[in-house]
Amino acid sequence: MQVDEDEIYWRHRKEDEELEWSHDSTRLIAQLTQCFSTAMVGSRSWIGGFFHRTNTKQNDKFVDYPLTPLEEERLQRLQERLDVPYDETSLDHQESLRALWNCAFPNVTLKGLISEQWKDMGWQGANPSTDFRGCGIISLENLLFFARKYPASFHRLLLKKDGDRATWEYPFAAAGINISFMLIQMLDLCSEGKPRCLPGMNFVKLLGEDEDAFDDLYCIAFEMVDAQWLAMHASYMNFNEVLQATRKQLERELSLEDINKIQDLPAYNLLYQ
């Protein structure tokens, strides 16, 4: 698969003693996002197929469980969100992108929806719409929700305010899209009907309590990624390891018996550091 090819590519690049990284920030963002953004490439049908293959073993152990009418309704609405691609001709989508910029950099005037300024947020290029392939509009909605509901946390991560940071940091926006993708996979949201894994089953209960549970979980996961990044003293080569470590921790928290609402997750407190 392409992800594996990218990992091999970067491993070989790291072993090359003669490799000299450019100190130009524009090239750095492009290099980092090329490594991180393979999850976004391809149609949703491909993504659904990938999820199906990776979840085969857990599906064998699946035990059916009932949903309340409210849980079923909210799960369906969430799954419908996954089907919506980012459309750069849509005025609503354009407005959401502008709103994200205004939340991120309220004192900086955006020159256009296609502008080199977007690289300051960690997009791959001057046109953020090209980074939404595969994950679609939900990844933009997640980022915008984070910026609006937890602005202090959002800016702390965006501007890398905490900890002893690496020389080569992860690009914020590209990381955010990968977190959306990771959660969709982890919660088995592309299954026919309802999730067939324990974290996904328990998540549906949280969704019944709060329709914003997925977006809140995204914000928690972003905080966990950054905390794991700092704990591992990670650099660009370690991003996939950080993401996997975050996923395992989040799966453990979602499997706890006393989790009845999103605020019960131990990592929820990271949003209020």
Output the pLDDT for position 64. Answer: 81
Decide if 57 is inside a domain: no
Q: What's the confidence (pLDDT) of residue 124?
A: 86
Residue by residue, pLDDT tens for the chain (273 residues) are: 444 444 444 444 444 433 333 333 344 444 444 444 443 333 333 233 333 334 434 444 567 889 999 999 999 999 999 999 999 999 999 999 999 999 999 999 999 999 999 999 999 899 998 888 768 899 999 999 999 999 999 999 999 998 888 778 899 999 999 999 999 999 999 888 899 999 999 999 999 999 999 999 999 999 999 999 999 998 888 899 999 999 999 999 999 988 999 999 999 999 987
Mark whether 30 and 134 lie in a shared domain: no
Same domain, 244 and 151: yes
The answer to whether position 52 is within a domain reads no
Give the integer Cα–Cα distance in Å for 257 and 237: 35
> DSSP secondary-structure letter at 169?
P
Q: What is the pTM of this model?
A: 0.80
Q: From residue 65, give the alpha-carbon distance in Å to each of 97, 99, 193.
A: 38, 39, 11
Q: Which of 9, 10, 2 is nearest to 38 (CA)?
A: 2
- Per-residue model confidence (pLDDT) at position 7: 47
Same domain, 72 and 200: yes
* pLDDT score of 134: 65
Report yes or no on 46 lying in a domain: no
Helices within 16-132 (DSSP H only): 25-36, 44-54, 56-60, 69-82, 91-104
CA 9/CA 71 separation, integer angstroms? 43
Instruction: Report yes or no on 17 lying in a domain.
Output: yes
Q: What is the pLDDT of residue 51?
A: 36
Is the domain of 80 the same as that of 157? yes
How far from each other are the two terminal CA atoms of the chain, in whole angstroms?
A: 38
Query: What pLDDT score does 10 carry?
Result: 44
The verdict on residue 85 lying in a domain is yes
Same domain, 19 and 103: no
Q: Do 33 and 115 share a domain, yes or no?
A: no
pLDDT for position 149: 97
Same domain, 98 and 150: yes
Q: For residue 58, is it within any domain?
A: no
Domain that holds residue 204: 63-272
Q: Are 243 and 140 within one domain?
A: yes
91 burial (CB, 10 Å; 0-12 / 13-18 / 19+) is exposed
Identify whether residues 99 and 160 lie together within a single domain: yes
pLDDT score, position 193: 84
* DSSP state for residue 162 in the 8-state scheme: S
Q: Verify that 202 and 100 share a domain, yes or no.
A: yes
- Quote the number of domains for the chain: 2
Residue 225 resides in a domain: yes
